């Protein structure tokens, strides 16, 4: 199933992105130390280069799978200002082409962009914020 494969690819992509960030931070930490070990720095650079390649190939695979199945949805979403290809792919995969939800409010709650009002009786009145609960 295209949907389940795309979800698995997104989970793998997330893992690789976290690993690449950790590697970049380690490289920066080695540079800040003053005299970084050339062997360690080269190893980290090779690791980052390999992760970059894997990330790129996973993104291309997701794009090709979604284009096969949901080309029209992808075109419509990327035509919206502020939504790029990565966001459009994520929305299509997570929502199964928007088939999982009947209304926009259900989608907003699932994604985690609904406003949350913080108040308790008459004494506590906080600003309304976006709830960060959800995907």
On whether both 45 and 75 belong to a single domain, the answer is yes
Q: Which residue has the higher pLDDT, 42 or 110?
A: 42
Angle between helices 85-95 and 38-78 (to 10 degrees): 70
On whether both 73 and 90 belong to a single domain, the answer is yes
Is the pLDDT assigned to residue 50 strictly greater than 80? yes
Residue 109 pLDDT: 80
On whether both 74 and 124 belong to a single domain, the answer is no
Is the pLDDT assigned to residue 25 strictly greater than 80? yes
What torsion do the CA atoms of 5, 6, 11, 17 make, to the nearest 10 degrees? 130
The answer to whether the beta carbons of residues 134 and 116 sit under 8 Å apart is no
Q: What is the pLDDT of residues 74-133, one digit of tens each?
A: 999 999 999 999 889 988 888 888 888 888 888 888 877 777 777 776 666 777 777 777
Domain with 124 in it: 101-134
């Amino acid at each position: 199933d295209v949907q389940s494969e795309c979800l698995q690819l997104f989970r793998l992509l997330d893992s690789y992105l976290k690993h690449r960030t950790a590697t970049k931070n380690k490289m920066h930490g080695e540079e800040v130390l003053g005299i970084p070990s050339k062997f360690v720095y080269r190893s980290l650079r090779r690791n980052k280069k390999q992760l970059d390649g894997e990330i790129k190939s996973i993104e291309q695979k997701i794009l090709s799978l979604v284009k096969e199945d949901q080309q029209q949805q992808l075109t419509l979403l990327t035509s919206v200002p502020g939504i790029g290809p990565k966001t459009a792919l994520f929305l299509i995969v997570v929502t199964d082409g928007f088939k999982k939800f009947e209304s926009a409010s259900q989608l907003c709650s699932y994604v985690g962009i609904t406003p949350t009002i913080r108040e308790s009786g008459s004494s506590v009145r906080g600003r309304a914020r976006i709830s960060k609960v959800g995907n």
